[in-house]
Amino acid sequence: MDKSITAAIDFEKGGGIIPVITQDFASRAVLMVAYMNQEAFAETVRTGRACYYSRSRNKLWRKGEESGNFQVVREIRLDCDGDTLLLRVDQKGDGAACADGYESCFYRVLDSDQWRVADKRLVDPAKYGAGYGHQKKSIE
């Protein structure tokens, strides 16, 4: 990869990682927000499939490696500050970008004084095994 491509990205501002907004190419729905380091960015460009950096696991996270819900990158955009990327992708597999089984990680909406699930779950994440996804409290 041409070093000038990576040089335009300010990885140092965020301590070696940058935020990445991932959007469905066709619908423009925001699917998720994740992070990349230089290695994840280089792999994404080289393979055409989204690769992120997991801050909690301190390693590369190849989207879909456990679930099969991978992302084919159609376009990569860099913001004006050079410190945030926008990936426009085709979401593959079950269509769920979210580890909770939804198309988008942004499936909850603030409704008065509580969070309400606003979208339909596409797949039960238990399908992928007990260790899949985030270990967190569910709101359902």
- Whole-number average pLDDT of the chain: 91
| Cα–Cα distance, 15 to 119 (Å, whole number) | 34
Nearest CA to 50 out of 3, 104, 42, 78 is that of 42
Residues 6+ apart with CB under 8 A from 139: 108, 115, 117
pLDDT digits (tens, 9 = 90+) for 93-137: 999 999 999 999 999 999 999 999 999 999 988 887 766 665 554
Q: At residue 101, what is the residue type?
A: G
Domains in the chain: ranges and CATH: 3-121 (3.10.20.810)
Nearest CA to 55 out of 77, 42, 40 is that of 40
Q: What is the pTM of this model?
A: 0.87
